Amino acid sequence: MQENLYREVIIKHQLERHGVEVRWIIPSRALNKASSLDDIENDPVFKREGAIRVDGEWQFRKQMRGSQMVVFSTWRSYLALTRMAQAEGRATINFCATSGIDHWTHGVERCLIRSRFTHRLLEHEAATMGLSLPPSDQIRIVGSIQYEYPKDLQPTSFRDRDHFCHHYGLDPRRPIAVLFPKGIQSFHKKVALWHPDWTQQQVDHYNQWFLDKYGEICHKARESACNLLIKMHPSAYVAYNCSSEFEKQYWHHYPWAKVVEAGHTQAMFDYADVGLGINTHASLDMGYFRKPFIYVDSDIKPPPNLPAFDNIKLGTLTPGPSSHWHSQPLIVNPWFRSWLGAFSRAEDLSALLADPKSLLPIEQADWEMFVEEYWGLGDNRASERIVAEILAFGEETLSSRSRKMSWSYWRGFFWDWVSRLQGQYTWHS
């Protein structure tokens, strides 16, 4: 993701400090369509860390030589790569590197997941979609490194809120609201996939409703005299699905709304007062930073009746916004079950945006419950737990007699032996 391109560097450095040699492989869009990291050859950090771009399965197989373990992040498209690694006797493990609610096991032997909600989600998908899960004792909750940054690669910072506001031409005396829209082009394509029986006119009409509602939100924010930022969806930076320039140009229709630069995401969370959206899961991220979120008219256009959207029912928190958790629960958002903040009709939004801090306070206990539910732990130490699990998994798995008795192990062992001779061995336990 563009907001924190180098988060895996933390994992790499910690493993190296434990004496593990790490080969950092980055699949290009040929293997992972959602990748935004195709141009790693010209990136100084990737060059410094020796990152290797892999464009095909044969290149991946070649780069695995000499390794005993392959550590994946949780992209769905890594199923074939996992199978190749296991066919050669490599131990396989994955970890959560993102926000959102998705986690794909793609057949690894141990899963390092974000939270208990994720565990329920995986069990639900195993029952309804045939997802293959490792045994329960091989699923460990560690949190996510989405907002952990390497010490020497900290995000762009501003001296204070005033300087952040000055950069975007905002009034520091006014609240800062952030709108989290879906990627305009990518969402339009998703709607067509969700509803293959719809005509193009129906798809266009559904998509246009969201665009019109985003516009209404922008106007209501202007009426409230608050500052408005647009946080583009991560899919807006993935060229195979849309054009980031197109997305940026679209928001020029609302010149008082400023598009957040990808490198300023952390600062945006630091200084924002409230998040806004319709069908987004960005309430997760705002909640992580203890900021309220307002879903606007999100019940008018429900999500499609598909198994993938059943996951909102798996939460254990009181349904509805936290503004009503301790009074009358409101189930008003079919896109996400429970969140920190409020629900609003568009016509009532201006009043909430005028003073979101006092109108939408977050109780300490509610924040802790939310973070535990969806993030597992919010202490910014997920990388330490991930590394500890990788090391323990290596010790347990690579000394396993069952693995040594398998033909795939001996085939992998042959490649290990060849690579040792070449000085390319990449796992030291």
CATH code at 265? 3.40.50
156 is a domain residue: no
Is residue 282, in this structure, part of any structural domain at all? yes
Distance separating the N- and C-terminal Cα atoms of the chain: 31
* Domain assignment of residue 246, given as a range: 161-375
Q: Is residue 176 part of a domain?
A: yes
CA distances from 189 to 54, 162, 309 (A): 27, 39, 17
pLDDT interval class at 74 (50, 70, 90): confident
On whether both 180 and 227 belong to a single domain, the answer is yes
Task: Estimate the crossing angle of helix 57-64 against helix 79-87, to 10 degrees.
Answer: 40
3 state DSSP class of 72? strand
Mean pLDDT of all residues in 80-100: 89
**Domain co-membership, 106 together with 218:** no
- pLDDT for 422 equals 53
Report whether pLDDT(428) > 50.
no
Q: Is the pLDDT of residue 325 over 80?
A: yes
Chain centroid, CA 411 distance in Å: 36
Read off the pLDDT of residues 378-398 as tens digits, 9 standing for 90 and up.
899 999 999 999 999 999 987
Whether the CB-CB separation of 266 and 2 falls below 8 Å is answered with no
Residue 265 has pLDDT above 80, yes or no: yes
Q: Count the neighbouring beta carbons within 10 Å of the beta carbon of residue 12.
A: 21
Q: Mean pLDDT of all residues in the chain?
A: 87
| Residue 269 and residue 343 share a domain | yes
Residue 294 maps to a domain: yes
State how far the Cα of 380 lies from the Cα of 115, in Å rounded to an integer: 14
Mark whether 343 and 363 lie in a shared domain.
yes
Within-domain flag for 299: yes
Residue 154 lies in a domain: no
Helix H segments across 224-321?
Answer: 244-250, 265-271, 283-288
Shared domain check, 327 and 187: yes
Strand 293-296 and strand 320-321: the pairing is unpaired
* Percent of the chain predicted with pLDDT > 70: 89
Residues 129, 77 within the same domain: yes
* Other C-beta atoms lying within 10 Å of the C-beta of residue 417: 11
Number of domains in the chain: 2
pLDDT value of position 425 = 38
Paired tokens of 31:
């293997």
In a domain, 53, yes or no: yes
Which is nearest to 268 in space by CA: 168, 410, 124, 385?
Answer: 168
Across 338-357, average pLDDT: 94
Is the domain of 257 the same as that of 130? no
Tell me: do 411 and 322 sit in the same domain: no
Same domain, 126 and 226: no
**Does the pLDDT value for residue 407 go beyond 90?**
no
| 330 and 296 in a common domain | yes
Q: What is the reported pLDDT for 323?
A: 93
Same domain, 224 and 198: yes
Show which of 375, 391, 409 is a domain's final residue.
375
Max mean pLDDT range (41-50, 118-127, 158-167, 187-196):
158-167
Judge whether 324 lies within some domain.
yes
Q: What is the CATH number of the domain that holds 7?
A: 3.40.50.2000
Q: 338 and 277, same structural domain?
A: yes
The closest alpha carbon to 1, from 73, 70, 57, belongs to 73
Q: What is the mean pLDDT of residues 301-328?
A: 86
